[in-house]
């Protein structure tokens, strides 16, 4: 039996690429199966008082004085990358031999919102959950109760968690803005839910300013926990 090539990190940003182009690129790269990741991000989040306050404080800490421009750039990126769970499920339904879908949940939202998204992911038959602390404005430690709900759901239903680790574009290239995506923040729940596979997307390395920024933290989790 020949080995299959699986790309576990694909963002179907249909404002940048059509679904036919996406399938064509998969074939050109000889990828047998692509995992599409939803991104439950909200361009309105930077206007929420608690998030806006956090952004302003981090800008001050970095001596970035034009905070309004930073916030508008954030909103533009969030608008561009927002990918609904429904869209991912639709693409998977059209190309079931080529694609697998993961949903996404914004953990900066309310407990009720998180529970609603879990039900949505189950209804759509998605195979895992994508989390991105940077663009979703959460720290895994500070939202532990909501994140625990996600882990419990994945443990009960055999789902996989993919969590972004490392920096991100724009102001998130500053480590101070992306510290929430340091893999070390996931340690507690990873060790409490050893039956839940966790993919540390980018291995903590994603950074234009400091490539490999949190690689050591990611490797430590991988060495100590078989589910990573």
How confident is residue 203, by pLDDT bands cut at 50, 70 and 90?
very high
- Assign 219 a pLDDT band (cuts: 50, 70, 90): very high
Average pLDDT of the segment spanning 148-173: 98
User: What's this model's pTM, rounded to 2 decimal places?
Assistant: 0.96
Segment 148-166 shows an average pLDDT of: 98
Q: Is residue 140 part of a domain?
A: yes
- Residue 103 CA: distances (Å) to CA of 30, 85, 106, 201, 217: 25, 5, 10, 15, 26
Quick count: other Cβ atoms within 10 Å of Cβ 93? Answer: 12
Per-residue pLDDT reduced to its tens digit, 81-113:
999 999 999 999 999 999 999 999 999 999 999
In a domain? residue 136: yes
Average pLDDT over residues 11-17: 94
Averaged pLDDT of the chain: 97
Does residue 1 form part of some domain? no
The 10 Å CB-count burial string (b at 16+, else e) for 46-81 is beeeebeebbeebbeeeebeebeebbeebbebbeeb
Q: How much is the pLDDT for 96?
A: 97
Note every long-range contact of 93-96, with CB atoms under 8 Å and residues 24 or more positions apart, other chains counting.
94/19, 95/19, 95/23
Rg, Å, the chain Cα set: 17
Contacts of 45 (CB under 8 A, 6+ apart): 51, 78, 106, 108, 136, 137
Domain span including residue 170: 6-224
Looking at the chain, the whole-number percentage of residues with pLDDT higher than 70 is: 100
Give the residue carrying structure tokens 């998204």: 117
As a whole number of angstroms, the distance between CA 204 and CA 184 comes to 10
CATH code of 211's domain: 3.20.20.140
pLDDT for 2 equals 72
The string of DSSP letters for 162-191 reads: EEEEE--SGGGGSHHHHGGG-GGGGHHHHH
Q: How many CB atoms are closer than 10 A to CB 104?
A: 25
User: What digits encode the pLDDT tens for the residues 15-58?
Assistant: 999 999 999 999 999 999 999 999 999 999 999 999 999 999 99
Backbone angles phi, psi at 64, to 5 degrees: -95, 105
Residue 1 has pLDDT above 80, yes or no: no
Counted domains in the chain: 1
Decide if 119 contacts 129 (C-beta within 8 A). no
What pLDDT shows up at residue 25?
Answer: 96
Question: Can you tell me the mean pLDDT for 150-156?
Answer: 98
Q: Report how far residue 114's alpha carbon sits from residue 148's, in angstroms, rounded to the nearest whole number.
A: 11
Is there a contact between 104 and 162 (Cβ–Cβ < 8 Å)? no
């Amino acid at each position: 039996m020949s080995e299959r090539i699986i790309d576990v990190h694909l963002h179907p940003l249909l404002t940048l690429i059509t679904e036919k182009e996406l399938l064509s690129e998969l074939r050109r790269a000889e990828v047998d199966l692509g995992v599409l990741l939803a991104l439950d991000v909200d361009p309105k989040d930077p206007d929420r008082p608690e998030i806006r306050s956090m952004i302003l404080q981090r800008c001050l800490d970095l001596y970035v004085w034009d905070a309004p421009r930073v916030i508008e750039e954030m909103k533009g990126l969030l608008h561009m990358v927002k990918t609904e769970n429904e869209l991912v499920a639709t693409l998977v339904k059209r190309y079931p031999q080529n694609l697998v879908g993961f949903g996404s949940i914004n953990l900066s939202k309310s407990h009720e919102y998180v529970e609603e998204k879990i039900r949505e992911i189950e209804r759509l038959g998605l195979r895992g959950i994508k989390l991105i602390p940077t663009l979703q404005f959460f720290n895994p430690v500070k939202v532990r109760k909501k994140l625990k709900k996600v882990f419990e759901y994945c443990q009960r239903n055999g789902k996989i968690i993919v969590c972004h680790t490392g920096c991100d574009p724009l102001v998130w290239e500053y480590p101070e803005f992306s510290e929430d995506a340091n893999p070390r923040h996931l340690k507690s729940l990873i060790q409490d839910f050893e039956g839940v596979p966790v993919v540390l997307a980018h291995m903590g390395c994603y950074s234009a300013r400091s490539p490999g920024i949190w690689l050591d933290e990611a490797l430590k989790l991988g060495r100590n926990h078989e589910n990573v």
